[in-house]
Structure 1
Amino acid sequence: MSYLFTPPATVSVPVLGLPARFPVHRIYCVGRNYEEHAKEMGFTGREPPFFFLKPADALIVVDEGQTGVQPYPTLTNNLHHEIELVVAIGTGGKNIPAAEAFKHIYGYAVGLDMTRRDLQNEMKKQGRPWCIGKAFDHSAPIGAITPLAQAGDIANAEISLQVNGADRQRSHISKLIWNIAETIEHLSMAWELQAGDLIYTGTPEGVAAVVAGDTLVGHVAGLGSLTVQVR
């Protein structure tokens, strides 16, 4: 088969302890999935889950022990960090019941959902889609994937983010409004999940702006860390 131009390379994420990499299909993100973060964004209660997508090539892939570069994006003066647990899907499916969800998980990683908050808020005011605030280039840093069997008790793990060595976000995965299994159940009713999908599961409270020169270090207990510097 011939192409008019060279197709883009497959986006992939390293897997801890393995030479093979995880090829990425789609990136799904869950909005307002921690109660305290929902409150700081002006919402309360356990609303039905909702999702948005980022393109696979929005990933900034950072190998364990390395520091990734987070380019400060255009068109914004208010770039926010959102630390998240990322679920890597290894087996696809439709209408997956929560009780079967973990059979579809390959592993987990630490991710950042970077957000042009000023652009997102302006789109919200106008009732327009806010892809420009969420799905821009380099908006999804991610660390290496830890296979499921090596990840420990993720459902109760601590999640945290430090900026220049100071705590910004700290919570526990147990505080997810819609837990991992429920998220997979709801998501698979709207889309057929595929091997290679990544699910950014939501961020806890404490989101705030970063500027050029800041260093962000994200952790989820039991997983590798994620370090990026804004430039």
Structure 2
Amino acid sequence: MNNPILEILIKAPGILAGVTFHEFAHGLTAYLFGDKTPKKEGRLTLNPISHIDPIGLILLFFMNFGWARPIHTNPANFKNRKPAMLMVSLAGPIANLLVAIVSALVLKLLYMYNIRYDLLYQILLYGIYINIVLAIFNLIPIPPLDGSKILFNLIPPRTYFKIIQYEYILQVVLILLIFVGFIPMIINPIIMQIYNFLIKLGGF
């Protein structure tokens, strides 16, 4: 795409929706399980400004991966600690998949009613793609991604404490694996399978 302004216009709705609903879902789930920390910090909102991290946002626009401001939770406040932590971790990726599905359904409606507006189609198609990316990427079981928190809730505490000692090293490893292309090589086939399924659902 040669027009950077048009590219930003196409990407912005999907990225902002993805980041916002991902973090909001984490916060809302924590709140429903009894932790008021996200509400006290003003994170139970669908205002993207409350959730975006400038560097993470720029990377999302130009590299199709990035991050938002993480939601802070206090597990000591959870009514049922282990299931709560598991559901809070899953909530973000699930929210992204729901955004992708809703985008596909909107695409389907446009197609059914023969509404042909190419820019809107491109916005929806990218919205489907980037939200699948956010969902699958965050399920990788390496800190600080959601997948690591899911894994830590499924393994024995002794194993968890051994792994968490190397959290910062694992974060560096994650970044290196992304930049050398190993992570994209692993997750891209999964992303494209889901993407192709959803755009077929949308009539493409």
* TM-score (structure 1 length as normaliser): 0.23
Q: Identify the structure with the greater strand proportion.
A: 1
Which protein is bigger by CA-based radius of gyration?
Answer: 2
Q: Identify the structure with the greater helix proportion.
A: 2
* TM-score (structure 2 length as normaliser): 0.25
